Amino acid sequence: MGSLGISESPKPWQGIVAEKQRAAKKLVPSGWLLPDAIWQGLTLPLEANPNRIIEQDIPRRSGILSTRELEITENYSTAQLLDALAKGTLSSVEVTTAFCKRAAIAQQLTNCLTEVFYDAALKRAKELDEYLAASGKPSGPLHGLPISLKDSFKLKGIDSSIGFVSLVNKPAEQNSVLVDMLLEMGAVLYVKTNIPQTMMTADSHNNVWGRTLNPHNTTLTAGGSTGGEGALIAFRGSPLGIGTDIAGSIRIPSLCCGVYGFKPTTGRIPFGNQQSPVPPGYSPIHPAAGPMANSFEALQLLTEAVISARPARHDSTCLDVPWQHLTPLPSSTRLTIGVLTDDTTLPFHPPVKRALDNACALLAEKGHNLVPIGPERSHVASLAELSMAAFTLDMKGGFEFIASSGEPVVPSVAAGAAPSRGEAMKSFWVEFDRLDMYHKIAALGGQIQRLKEEWRKLWNESNLDVVICPGAQHTAVKHDTYRYPAYTVFLNVLDYPACIVPLGKASKDLDATPGDFGDAGSYNPEDIDQAPTAIQVFTPNMRDEVCLQVGQVIDEVLNQS
C-alpha cells in the first residue's frame, strides 16, 4: 500500500481498460452512432491525419440530430438557452437530449469524454420540467441547463479516474462541492471530459480513455489538462463546461480549441473534494475552478451564479466574498490596457504575434490607451521558472498511481516540459540548488512575493485597468509537442484572474515564415494553418468581476469589428 493509499491491481492494466471502455460504449444508444458514410469521408487514423471535423458539419449530415436539436445546439447562446428554459419555451428534456446526442458524436470523432450518464441526465431533466410546470418558476439560475464537467470533479457513484488505471472502478463516495452547488442551482450534469495522465501536461492523453483530438484539426492537441472540455465545447456538444487551472489548464484548451475560458482568483469558485494526482493539501501553487463556453457572456453568467450562492458556506477553502455588482461601463469608456511585448527568451510564433497586433490595432482604433510592457517589467520568464521549481519540489506527481497499475507513462508525460533557466535569475538558481527542502520552499516564496510586489507597482505606476497578452507562444501544436506554458502559468503564480478570448485563425499565407522558437518549439505554417488564435485578458488578484467586465468590452471590440 503506497503513501496515497494505492494498492496494486491483481489484473493486468490492459484488461481493466478494455472492460472500462466496453462498459462506456454500451451506454451510447445505437441510434447515436455515426453511419458508415460519415467515416468514409474521413481520413483514418484521425490523430495522424488533418481532418477538419468542425468544417465538415457532421452533426447535420449524420441524421442523428433533428432540425430542432441542431437549432438548440447551434443557434442559442447559453444565456438564451437559460431564458427559454426558465420560460418553458424549451424543455430541459429536449435541450438535454440535443446536447447528449451532440456529445456522443463529439466523442466518436474527438475522444473528448470519459464518464457518460445520459439516462440519469434525462431523468433529471424530466423532473425539472415537471417542477417548472407545477410551480411556474425555474428551480434556480441554471434551471434545466446541461453542464459538462472535467473528469476530476466527483459525482457520487461514478469514477473520477483522472487518467489513471489504478483509479478505475473506484466510484466517488460523495460529490465535489461545486457539483452539489450546480445541482442546487438547477443544472443537469450529463458527461465528464478527458484529461492528461497526471493532469500536468497540455495533451489530454491517458491509457484509460486515449487521446482527445482537436476538432479544428485532428493532428493538433486539444490542450490540457481540461482538453476534453475544449474539444466538446468547440464541437458545440456542451453549452457550458467546468474545468480547473493550476498552470493554464482552462486557458490552454480554450486557446487551442477556439473557445472562451476563465480562470478566477483561487477561492472564488469552490474546488473542494476533487480527485487529485497529489496528496491532499499539497498545493505549492493553488488551483482554481472555472467555466469554459462558446461566448464570453456565459463565463460571467456561471461565475456570478456560483459566487452569488456563497460557496464558502459549503467549502472551507473558499473566500466568503460576495459577487460585486459593478456599474455598467458607458460606451464612451476608454480603458488603459497594458500589452505584454515580445520577449526574445519567449518569442511569439507568427500567428500569435499577428493576433496580438490585430487586437492592439482594433482597441486603439476604438480609442483605448495601450501601454507596452516589456519583459523586464512583466517577469513572465522568471515567474514560469519559479512555477516549475514549485511543481517539482515533489517529483512523484502522480507517478505512484501509474506504478501501482503497471501502466506505461504516456509520451507527453515522459517528455516533460521544463523551461530553460534564463539569465535574469541565474544567481538565484545557483544558490537555490544548494538548499535543503525547507529553505527551498522559503526561497521560492520570497521570490514570488518579490515579483508580486513588482506587479503591484506596475499596475499603479501605469494606472492600468487591464493587461492583454497571448495565452501561449503558439497556437495548438502537434500532439505531444506543447512545451512549458509560460504565458498561462505566470498568472497562476501571481494568482490573477484571466480570460481567453478567441480572435481569428492562423494562416499559412499570412504567417508564412517557418522558424525554430527554442522552448516553444518549431513553427511550420502548413501544420498550423487555420488553428484558432486568441488573446488573454487579466487583472489583479480578486478583481474577477472587473476582469469579466472589461474582458467583455474587449471581446466586443475584437469579435464584433
The Cα 221–Cα 212 span in angstroms is 7
| Residue 3 confidence (pLDDT) | 45
Other beta carbons within 10 Å of 119 = 12
Closest CA to 191 of 140, 240, 251: 240
The reply to whether 248 sits in an annotated binding site is yes
225 belongs to the catalytic site: yes
One-character DSSP codes across 284-339: SS--EEEEEESSHHHHHHHHHHHHHT-GGGT-TTS---PPP-PPPPPTT---EEEE
Residues 6+ apart with CB under 8 A from 19: none
Question: Averaged in consecutive runs of 10 residues, what is the pLDDT profile of the chain (561 residues)?
Answer: 52 96 96 98 98 98 98 98 98 98 98 98 98 98 98 98 97 98 98 96 97 98 98 98 98 98 98 90 89 98 98 95 97 96 94 98 98 97 95 80 94 85 93 96 97 98 98 98 95 98 98 93 96 98 98 97 61
The Cα 513–Cα 355 span in angstroms is 15
Q: Which of 152, 161, 166, 249 is catalytic?
A: 249
| Residue 489 confidence (pLDDT) | 98
The answer to whether 224 and 231 are in contact (CB under 8 A) is no
The reply to whether 84 sits in an annotated binding site is no
The Cα 475–Cα 529 span in angstroms is 10
Q: Cell 490492459 belongs to which residue?
A: 14
| Residue 7 confidence (pLDDT) | 54
Domains belonging to the chain, first-starting first, are 13-313 (3.90.1300.10), 336-559 (3.90.1300.10)
Q: Which of 91, 92, 176, 225 is catalytic?
A: 225
- Cα 539 from chain centre: 19
The reply to whether 312 sits in an annotated binding site is no
The reply to whether 92 sits in an annotated binding site is no
| Residue 561 confidence (pLDDT) | 61
The answer to whether 244 and 288 are in contact (CB under 8 A) is yes
| Residue 1 confidence (pLDDT) | 36
91 belongs to the catalytic site: no
pLDDT in tens, 109-152: 999 999 999 999 999 999 999 999 999 999 999 999 999 999 99
**Angstrom distances, CA of residue 210 to CA of 59, 406, 531:** 23, 16, 22
The reply to whether 204 sits in an annotated binding site is no
249 belongs to the catalytic site: yes
- Reduced to 3 states (helix: H, G, I; strand: E, B; else coil), residue 116 is strand
Cis amide leading into 485 (omega within 30): no
Please name the residue ranges forming H helices in 344-497: 350-365, 375-378, 380-391, 399-405, 411-415, 426-432, 437-462, 486-494
Please give the torsion angle defined by the CA atoms of residues 321, 322, 323 and 328, in that order, rounded to the nearest 10 degrees. Answer: -110
| Residue 278 confidence (pLDDT) | 85
Q: Which of 101, 150, 192, 263 is catalytic?
A: 150
What pTM, to 2 d.p., does this model score?
0.97
Give the E-state strand segments of 28-162 in sequence order.
113-116, 146-150
The reply to whether 135 sits in an annotated binding site is no
Query: Phi and psi of 468, rounded to 5°?
Result: -120, 150
